Structure 1
Amino acid sequence: MSRMLLCLGYPEVRLQTLKEKIHCREVQAETLLAFMGEPEHFCYPSIFIYGHQATGKSHVVLTLMKELEVSHAVVSCVESFSAALLFEHVLFSLFGADSVSLLPRAPSLSDFVRIFKQSCLQQPATQTRYIVLERAELLREMEANLLPALLRLQELVEDNVTVILLSEIVWDKFRPNTGCFEPLLLHFPDYTKAELLQILSLDFNPSFTPELYSSYINILLGVFYSVCRDLRELRHLAALNFSKFCEPLEKGEAKESDTHKLWRNIEPHLKRAMNTVYLREVSSVQWEQQQMEDMESTTLRGLSAHTHVELPYYSKFLLIAAYLASYNPARTDRRFFLKHHGKIRKTNFLKKHEKTSNHLLGPKPFPLDRLLAIFYSVVDSRVAPTASIISQISSLVTLQLLTQVGYKDQLDSPKYKCAVSLDFILAISRTVSFDIVRYLYDFL
């Protein structure tokens, strides 16, 4: 990367700062620098950067923008959920409040391009301007002409501007059906175990040696790496459990070299922390309080989802409906949810593979319309099909109680799986006085 920066004319004094801030992403940073080219030359109109969440996409791009001191605008498509908000954010970041005041109340794409060109004439730039769009896949939910226009914005405004799109999905799933300008592609792969160890070890506590913290991270990754490779979640778990790991050291019961004793002390706490990966049932303060209660109690109490997850009334019925849809064959819906279904024998109307216990085979995916049909059948009151019900389904997905099958941005007939256990759904059913066992095919 050092040679690349020097070749591109950037001062050597910034090299060390970039090396200290970009870890395990030197290859991707160097490729991005090659795409950007000389500061005063025209860059490629658009760059598409993709990879799973927490793989360093935003960190690398924003670090380069800030350290190289280039003119840039960073827009989150979650916050700027409409084209008007996006236009305002871009113009304000690049040209200031005066350009935003020129926008009409409901600006169109042509208004944005016109004001952008005027602002470029009033504030000519000697270097490339960059527009960084985070969660760019959400652009497809806005106006149909917005994404193709952003990909060739340099041509439309006749100025040296480059749009960088950051996304969690690949370009083949992102590309509009009508065709568009093809951007340069840059992939950020998942961090390897060695790279996660290197990055997380940088957060060591100054009260202890870096070697001790590195050995602790190695133990942590040995437990969680198979189920979680999200850097942010692993960093949260590392900070949460380190005090428990150091307890024998603070009490004088072990030395830093007694790795086996330290492991035996932290092992039960890491196993219980497995229940909170991604779900985040409790905050850090609540987790510490739980550990204090466990020390005072003779019986260790795990983090039970039944007692820590509090759901709205209709969300409980949605979760019950999702469980029924996941573990009942679709052919049994008439039997369970229609009053006048006639006589149906259990052994004759199902296929051979459908007679195997579904609780042994695991949850099956189901479409949204089936979920809603079962929900309106089991709920004990008349509920209007409103946006509130759909938003509660999204909340269940966010809580990892439901899993969306396929891509998160799928709009036409999304499919889901229920991700909770039988004990969990039995406890939820008891809170709403619903006998779910009567509606499960495996228990007939």
Structure 2
Amino acid sequence: MSSSWLQQQRHPGYEEESLRRVAEQLPCREPQAGMLLSLMGEPKHFSLPCIFIYGHRASGKSHVVNVLLKELEMPHATVSGAECISATLLFQQVLLSFFGEDAVGALPRSPSLSDFVRVYKQRCSRATAEQTRYIVLEKAELLRDMDANLLSALARLQELVEDNVSVLLLSELVWDTFRPNTGCLEPLLLHFPEYTKAELHQILSRDSHPTYSADFYASYIHILLGVFYAVCRDLRELRHLAALNFTKFCEPVGEGKATESDTHKLWRHVEPHLKKAMQTVYLREVSSLEWEKMQEVEMEASPLRGLSAHSHVELPFYSKFLLIAAYLASYNPARTDKRFFVKHHGKIKKTNFLKKNEKTSNHLLGPKPFPLDRMLAIFYSVVDSRVAPTASIFSQISSLVTLQLLTQVSHADQLDAPKYKCAVSMDFICAISRTVNFDIIKYLYDFL
């Protein structure tokens, strides 16, 4: 950290010790922090009136800004668009942070923008700031639902209140989605890119467990990212997953069945737990402690190990065939239906049936949406016409959607041709197929 880009800036007015503490708290974000600090300038100089900071969720935007403002002791007001649901609450929060409760009391009950500017100018004339004041607006995209002129006024607040104040807008959206039709002072844009895999590894490895060595925890993070990085880049979610599954990873070491260097044995032990955790990414249906207890009970009692919790849902007989039909429609190309499900399809040349350069498995590409008519045609074929189309069949489709085994991808008001996607795993559908004596592998295009 001693050679970080942030420390090399040599910002006048800031102590070296303060910059060193900032650099230690912002791993892999020194360039963005240094750029932001250079835009802010020296403490007593006027800063830019408005800076728009954008980037994906959990890319370090709020963390970098808060660390800079707190460690360098800059006067600031932090306001969340999710908490301040009206302009009145926003005005009150800013005045309270800068001037205290007396300034809030000077506002009328339903203050307008001009009331806020008037009170702000009165208060700052009494207490001139020795350095720039900063207003940090998190989740700034919610400002678009407030007064039409509010965003334009915040962008040029420095001019309106005649004070050394700078507004920092933080958002996951780009500026083009903000720009008002009536015109607005263009802020300076600062982008926070997503963390790379190497950066995530460096950051997560800092959370090493005190009982185990840092290298052991770093190897665990390497395994974790190998599983989850393709589907999740959110630092907070990955940190949660790392804490949730670490006890399972080090369990053989604690029982004396393996050492910290037995990476392969530890991987084999934790692999089924990581696969199951893949189905809970971004979900918080239960707490982490409850999820871990459920996992232990399932591993001991269930004969179908490694399956999702949906495996234990008891489905009606025809609902199982509907789910099988949905899985086949999701993972088989539509052009293969004639070969699989039409009894007297005639001769089909294999060269026409298989694409010459088709190398990617449909299971790797994920489920494809399909129309309801196609699923029902496959359903009536696999149940061998033992059921007539009734309202009960359609109600069971709705039940499968409610259970989140099927996902409706078309709009709810599209009644003529609704489209669905199957949302269950390969292991789950194989378990369902065994309960009705249906060999689903024979009907899957990827396994020909």
Whether the TM-score (by the shorter chain) exceeds 0.5 is: yes
Structure 1 residue 8: Cα displacement: 2.7
Q: How does 1:159-178 map to 2 (within 5 A)?
A: 159-178=163-182
1:412 matched to which residue of 2? none
What is the identity, as a one-letter code, of the residue corresponding to 1:421?
A: A
What is the identity, as a one-letter code, of the residue corresponding to 2:217?
A: Y
Residue 295 of structure 2, aligned match among 291, 296, 320 = 291
1:232 matched to which residue of 2? 236
What is the identity, as a one-letter code, of the residue corresponding to 2:144?
A: R
2:368 matched to which residue of 1? 362
Structure 1 residue 298: Cα displacement: 5.1
What is the identity, as a one-letter code, of the residue corresponding to 1:32?
A: L
What is the identity, as a one-letter code, of the residue corresponding to 2:195?
A: Y
CA distance in 2: counterparts of 1:118 and 1:304, whole angstroms: 61
Query: Is the 1:228–1:234 Cα contact (8 Å) retained in structure 2?
Result: yes
Q: 1:158 to 1:201 in 2, by over 3 A?
A: same
Q: How does 1:3-402 map to 2 (within 5 A)?
A: 3-4=8-9, 6-297=10-301, 299=303, 300=305, 302-305=307-310, 362-363=368-369
Structure 1 residue 421: Cα displacement: 2.2
Residues 138-170 of structure 1 show CA distances to partners (whole Å, capped at 9, x for unaligned) of 100000000000000000000000000000011
CA distance in 2: counterparts of 1:20 and 1:56, whole angstroms: 14
Q: 1:264 to 1:184 in 2, by over 3 A?
A: same
CA distance in 2: counterparts of 1:209 and 1:201, whole angstroms: 11
Query: Is the 2:45–2:132 Cα contact (8 Å) retained in structure 1?
Result: yes
CA distance in 2: counterparts of 1:418 and 1:103, whole angstroms: 53
Query: Is the 2:86–2:146 Cα contact (8 Å) retained in structure 1?
Result: yes
Query: Is the 1:281–1:305 Cα contact (8 Å) retained in structure 2?
Result: no
Percent pairwise identity: 61
Q: 1:27 to 1:209 in 2, by over 3 A?
A: same
1:356 matched to which residue of 2? none
Query: Is the 2:368–2:421 Cα contact (8 Å) retained in structure 1?
Result: no
Aligned residues: 340
Q: 1:361 to 1:64 in 2, by over 3 A?
A: closer
CA distance in 1: counterparts of 2:81 and 2:160, whole angstroms: 21
Residue 421 of structure 1, aligned match among 414, 420, 423 = 423
Q: 1:208 to 1:123 in 2, by over 3 A?
A: same
What is the identity, as a one-letter code, of the residue corresponding to 1:89?
A: Q
CA distance in 2: counterparts of 1:295 and 1:268, whole angstroms: 10
What SS does the aligned partner of 1:78 have?
A: coil
CA distance in 2: counterparts of 1:20 and 1:404, whole angstroms: 48
Structure 1 residue 228: Cα displacement: 0.4
What SS does the aligned partner of 1:186 have?
A: strand
Q: 1:121 to 1:197 in 2, by over 3 A?
A: same
Structure 1 residue 294: Cα displacement: 3.2
1:430 matched to which residue of 2? none
CA distance in 1: counterparts of 2:268 and 2:247, whole angstroms: 14
Structure with higher Rg: it is 2
Structure 2 unmatched ranges of 5 or more: 1-5, 314-325, 331-365, 372-393, 396-402, 412-417, 426-448
Query: Is the 2:272–2:306 Cα contact (8 Å) retained in structure 1?
Result: no
Structure 1 unmatched ranges of 5 or more: 309-322, 328-359, 366-377, 380-395, 406-415, 424-444
